[in-house]
Chain A
Amino acid sequence: MAKDKTLQVTAFADHHVITQPNPLRKVLRRVTEKDIDDPVARAEKALAGLSGEFRNWMETEADRLSAAHAAILKQGFSDATRQELFRAAHDIKGDAATFGFPSAAAAAESLCRIIEHAPDLEEVPSDLITHHINAIQAIVRERTKLDTASVASALSRKLRGVADEYLAHANRDRPEHLEAILAPSIAPAD
């Protein structure tokens, strides 16, 4: 263990408990209730200032997903093509809601679940994957139309329902996957 004189190590039967003076204590500062500085509000404002770029960023992410899908259509599933499709979908799952495209995030999450839990990706109906890719592209490209928010939400919910039905059936003899598929998400709700 690293030698550090500030560490206090207490030994127990099967473990050690290591404590040290908080090295970050110096950055904590007490302020009065009248202090009007709000770092979270400041950060939200700065994030809003970036929002003009979000659409372009989202289109870049959607194009990356389509390129990953095109590589699979051309070369088939390999470790490399599968991982790139997963990473592209996973990035959209994580970023799209921040960029103002929550339905794209939902559709991408559904696609991630297929890639992660399908017993054999070669056996997954190709339309199921293609519909996810097309839906994400449509949600991103058609966002400016007034009625698309509810349509996008309905579309991603429908895709998720079909994907979950497929995964539940395909994993009926794989309880560890079935448990993961049915477990609730810990992601913050919209």
Chain B
Amino acid sequence: MFRIDFNKLRFLVCDDNPHMRRILRTLLHSFGAREVYESEDGATALEMYSHYVPDIVITDWSMPIFDGLELAQMIRQPESKGNPYAPIIMLTGHSEKRRVTVARDAGVTEFLAKPISAKGLYQRILNVVANPRPFIKTKTYFGPDRRRNTGTTYIGPERRVGGEMEVMQQPSLLDKARATI
């Protein structure tokens, strides 16, 4: 069984709703996190991202002026001087499948639909900590591998070109640890 040492993780939370920020802060502190930085808009979050270099970003989608989707796109700049690889968890009231696709294509690592639950948030954090995915860079995309499975049957127009090696297995830490038992 595995646990996360939350006291070693630094979080950046971005949500324009103060009540939701309070709930997130309460949940993260209860998990054991000590460093939780908060922003109420995407622009401030981007500044804080550069300044505090968080390990994990949790962002709302719908915010005035500079939303969570734009924040994800700004973080996922491969030429950036900052860290473009930090896990991004999109926590949002949007609950349509097409929204998940849009968020995924912006480089979001995990999607969590509201209403929020302690269990749902913990599972998303555990997943980004224990099961990091390789990053993919194409002409139009930079972000975590959007494939959640390694099936080779997809033959659609978005199929990446590159032979057999293009399907890369990325064993999770949990799998590696279990293998050593």
Contacts and interface: CB of A to CB of B under 8 A. Distances in A.
Interface stretch (B15-23, B38-46, B149-157): B15-23
Contacts of B19: 57, 60-61, 95, 99
Contact of A14 (B129, B139, B165): B139
B11 to A, nearest CB: 12
B119 A40 contact: yes
A31 interface: yes
Contacts of B114: 93-95, 97-98, 187
Interface residues on B, range: 35 or more
Interface residues on A, range: 35 or more
B148 interface: no
Nearest to A32: B1
A90 B95 contact: no
B23 A98 contact: yes
Interface string B80-117: 11011101000011111110100000000000011111
B79 A12 contact: no
A91 interface: yes
B27 A19 contact: no
Nearest to B174: A28
A33 B23 contact: no
Contact of A15 (B22, B120, B160): B160
A12 B168 CA distance: 12
A26 B4 CA distance: 9
B96 A185 contact: yes
B115 A15 contact: no
B173 A28 contact: yes
Contacts of A146: none
The 10 closest A-B pairs by CB, nearest first: A94-B93, A12-B162, A94-B114, A187-B95, A43-B118, A97-B115, A43-B30, A13-B161, A46-B30, A18-B135
